[in-house]
Amino acid sequence: MATTDFDIAICGAGPVGLALALHLVKRGTPAARVALIDAKPLETVSRDPRSIALSYGSRQILEGVGAWPIPADAIHQIHVSRRGHFGRTIIDREEYGIPALGYVARYGVLVSTMAALAERNGITTLRPIHVTSSLERADSVELKCSNGRSLTTEIMVQAEGGVFSEQSTKSISRDYQQTAIIAHVSCSQPIAHRAFERFTEEGPLALLPQDDGYAMVWCARPATASRLHALPDSEFLAELEGVFGSRLGRFTGITPRVTYPLGLNAHAAISSRTVAIGNAAQTLHPVAGQGMNLGLRDAAVLARLLAREATAEMLQRFIQMRQSDRKLTITLTDTLARIFASAPDGALSQAALGFSLAMVDALHPAKRMLAEQMLFGQRE
């Protein structure tokens, strides 16, 4: 075996990459043999105000490396409904005997907490630099970095996150394209610890309890999203209330809105000594908020395998072990997104979703299966 600088080099020091590094060290990999490489300064990432949804299963993964608790708002109930159609379901933590179904946290807070743990554990973190090229050999991978440094590693893990750019959505059908509008909204009658997933004619609208209001993710077709984004705050809130209804009273305030294009990237690239996890392997539509949670499960499983032996055989085993969870989660999110993004308004497929929600609420086994996939995924 070649003498390398590291056993495992992780490109991307977001929550998924950090979780992998921390779990590797906890399982016995020497911290000096693990490297984290990220293009952004930690100070910049730590100020990132984006809201992220963490399942209860993700909390358990974070607890496993001491990265919990962090400041977060607990979700006790999830109310799922279809605008203008019969049918809804409510998922409640009490049905599953857990303290919360999930949590809403700030991306920057989570990263800064995990980065501090990585530093205390002695994990090598190289930032702000990025890998400009890589050369895979039979027994190692050579990485060229933007600071002029070259380093070698036995295994390279791609764990860089991000959202879709215009370039990455070119291969997506025009009828399937969607844009997400994100902001924080306040209302006159908030319901403590209750999250909402509201399916509209053009896509899902999620309201996640955070601070004294809600983190909003409103998905719509690009033309609609562009129109909504251009509206004055008062008119935007009026349209939001028209789509969501009066469950939370009146919407009274909103932070500046940000939009980004959506799609599906589900190509878990692998070679003899390189593997992708998290958003580098699968960038999901935000419906059901499963992207981060799927990535953290990737990290936990890969750490368990690579801590035994950092070899190509372990990478192949990882892909096999993660296939079921990835496939089910991707199918769930992609199917729901496609129903609204590609079907015309009032289509049978859209109407059938309302009926399906009613059936899920009535059939306890189906409801439990849906909830457990969202909470824990397919456990290995």
Does a structural domain hold residue 47?
A: yes
Q: Are 76 and 193 in contact (CB under 8 A)?
A: yes
Segment (H or E) for 321: helix 312-342
Does a structural domain hold residue 287?
A: yes
Give the residues across from 155 on adjacent strands.
8
- Which segments within the chain are labelled E, that is strand? 6-11, 34-37, 51-55, 72-75, 77-82, 88-92, 102-106, 124-126, 131-136, 141-145, 150-158, 178-187, 194-199, 204-210, 213-220, 251-254, 258-262, 265-266, 274-276, 282-283
Give the residues across from 210 on adjacent strands.
213
Would you say how long the chain is, in residues? 380
Give the chain's domain count: 1
- Residue ranges making up the domain that contains 305: 6-70+105-165+264-376
Q: Measure the CA–CA gap between 380 and 366, rounded to whole angstroms.
A: 21
Residue 45 has what pLDDT?
93
Does a structural domain hold residue 323?
A: yes
Q: Measure the CA–CA gap between 57 and 293, rounded to whole angstroms.
A: 8
Q: Measure the CA–CA gap between 311 and 155, rounded to whole angstroms.
A: 7
For the domain that residue 323 is a member of, what is the CATH number?
A: 3.50.50.60
Does a structural domain hold residue 242?
A: no
Q: Are 108 and 45 in contact (CB under 8 A)?
A: yes
DSSP letter for each residue of 150-184: EEEEEEEEE-------TGGGTTS-GGG-EEEEEEE
For residue 223 the two structure tokens come to 């033309």
Does a structural domain hold residue 110?
A: yes
Residue 359's alpha-carbon distances to 88, 208, 364, in angstroms, are 9, 24, 9
Does a structural domain hold residue 148?
A: yes
Using DSSP, state whether 319 is helix, strand or coil.
helix
Q: Are 321 and 268 in contact (CB under 8 A)?
A: no
Q: Measure the CA–CA gap between 193 and 209, rounded to whole angstroms.
A: 6
Q: Measure the CA–CA gap between 126 and 5, rounded to whole angstroms.
A: 13
Output the tens digit of pLDDT for each of the chain's 380 residues.
458 999 999 999 999 999 999 999 999 999 999 999 999 999 999 999 889 999 999 999 999 999 999 999 999 999 988 765 555 688 899 988 999 999 999 999 999 999 999 999 999 999 999 899 999 998 899 999 999 999 999 999 999 865 433 334 343 444 457 889 999 999 999 999 999 988 888 888 999 999 999 999 998 989 999 999 999 999 999 999 999 999 999 999 999 999 988 766 655 567 889 999 988 777 665 555 577 888 999 999 999 999 999 998 999 999 999 888 878 777 766 665 555 444 455 544 444 444 444 444 444 555 566 566 666 665 55
Cα angle for residues 9, 53, 207 (degrees, 5° grid): 150
For residue 228 the two structure tokens come to 């909504």
Q: Are 109 and 210 in contact (CB under 8 A)?
A: no
Does a structural domain hold residue 227?
A: no
- Which segments within 225-305 are labelled E, that is strand? 251-254, 258-262, 265-266, 274-276, 282-283
Does a structural domain hold residue 189?
A: no
For residue 277 the two structure tokens come to 């996890």
Residue 233 has what pLDDT?
98
Residue 363 has what pLDDT?
46
CA 138 to chain centre: 33
